[in-house]
Every structure is written in C-alpha cells, then in structure tokens.
A and B are shown apart, each in its own frame.
Chain A
Amino acid sequence: GAVVSQHPSWVICKSGTSVKIECRSLDFQATTMFWYRQFPKQSLMLMATSNEGSKATYEQGVEKDKFLINHASLTLSTLTVTSAHPEDSSFYICSAPPSTSGRNEQFFGPGTRLTVL
C-alpha cells in the first residue's frame, strides 16, 4: 500500500499554545487528504478534507478557525491546532487516497498523539 507519514508522532504542550501536525504522502501524490480525530475507545471522526490549492472543507461541528488546515503541495498537508486546550487532547490521524487510484482506498498516517496540559 501507499505510505503516509506524520510528524510529530506525539506532542505535549501547554494550554493556549498552538501545535502544527504534518501529513506527507511519501510515494504518491494526493490532491485530497483527510484529517481525523480519535478519542480513547471511540472510532475515527472525520474533521476536515484538505484540498490542494483550495480551502479545506470542515465537517459539521468542527471549528475552522481552531483547526487550521493548509494543503501546501500534492504531498503535504498540515493541521494546526490553535490555542489548544485539554479537551483537544486526542489522537489525530491523516489519510490520503492516491490521486491516480480510482478505487477510493485511503491510507493512514501513523497518527499524532496530542496531550494538552
């Protein structure tokens, strides 16, 4: 399968600070990437769709001013959690479907565990 990386794999920050998470597709191009959040013992919840060259689209209930998404190139999307608070502590995972694949398969990055103190 295709390879997606994320950085950092874990981060601990103080309340009120901003945290940037990078998602890269290593061996394919992705015009679209997806950002998910997973709380303990819960399933993945789609937060937003990152679109290369245009604005991200957010799912209902997700604050676009709090979760800033930038899809800078065909291989890189970033999620910035602004003014993080303890309730933002979660497992953030990105995924990408290869642009040239018509099968809608998505490959996930290894995830970033965010802990806000």
Chain B
Amino acid sequence: QKEVEQNSGPLSVPEGAIASLNCTYSDRVSQSFFWYRQYSGKSPELIMSIYSNGDKEDGRFTAQLNKASQYVSLLIRDSQPSDSATYLCAVNKGFQKLVFGTGTRLLVSP
C-alpha cells in the first residue's frame, strides 16, 4: 500500500464547476497535510495546509480532513481554466519530511 494515494486522473470539469480532489494516507499518526499545485515544468506551489479534522477554507479552496478515515480532500469552487494543473497531496511523516502522492491532473475546460 502506498503511503499517500491519489487518483491520477485526469479529472475534467467545466469552467465554473466544483472540482473535488481526494487523497488517502496510510500512517495514522500523521498530523500535517498539504495540498500543492504543480503546473507542467514548474515546481510545486503550496495551496493549503490542514492540521485538524474538519474543513478549512481559503478563497475558492476548501481542504477537508478526516483523520478517522485517513482521508484528505480539496475542493475548488468556480473552477477556472487557470486551475488546470496537477494537484499533489502531501503528508508529513515526521521530522518535517513530506510524502507525496502521485498527483491528480485537473483539466478545466472553458
């Protein structure tokens, strides 16, 4: 079992729709969770961090964490073509080390 799992996609949504990205992790003791956006050929950019169960909202982005189910998700409201990218879920495995999922490719069509 991979430490962090994501559906590779692509996830295709029309402009203006809600994109829902999901991630599961295997290590129950993980405490910190992150979503990064990576455009092709570029390095990852931090979008959201979440540390406690529930929802955390920042603009059009909402991160959701359910530690009991070992599940993290990212919702993008009013999706824009510029949101088209690969979204990486990352979990802190201790000593500040991050383990990344393989990423979900999001395509937002105009």
Identify the A interface with B (CB < 8 A): 1, 32, 34, 42-46, 49, 91, 93, 95, 97, 103-111
Contacts and interface: CB of A to CB of B under 8 A. Distances in A.
The size class of the interface chain B forms with chain A is 20 to 34
A104 B96 contact: yes
Given A44-B100, A104-B49, 10 more contacts: A43-B100, A43-B103, A44-B44, A49-B95, A103-B32, A103-B51, A104-B32, A105-B46, A106-B34, A109-B43
Contacts of A43: 88, 100-103
A32 B96 CA distance: 9
Given A46-B98, A104-B96, A111 B43 contact: yes
Q: Please classify the interface of chain A as helix (H, G, I), strand (E, B), loop, or mixed, using the class held by over half of its residues.
A: loop
Contact of A1 (B42, B46, B102): B46
Interface string B32-55: 101010000011111001010000
Interface of B: 32, 34, 36, 42-46, 49, 51, 88, 92, 95-103
Contacts of B51: 103
A43 B49 CA distance: 19
A105 B98 CA distance: 10
Given A34-B97, A46-B98, A106 B43 contact: no
A106 B51 CA distance: 14
Contact of A34 (B43, B88, B98): B98
Nearest to B4: A43
A88 B44 CA distance: 21
Contacts of B49: 103-105
B97 A49 contact: yes
A108 B92 contact: no
A79 B102 CA distance: 24
A104 B92 contact: yes
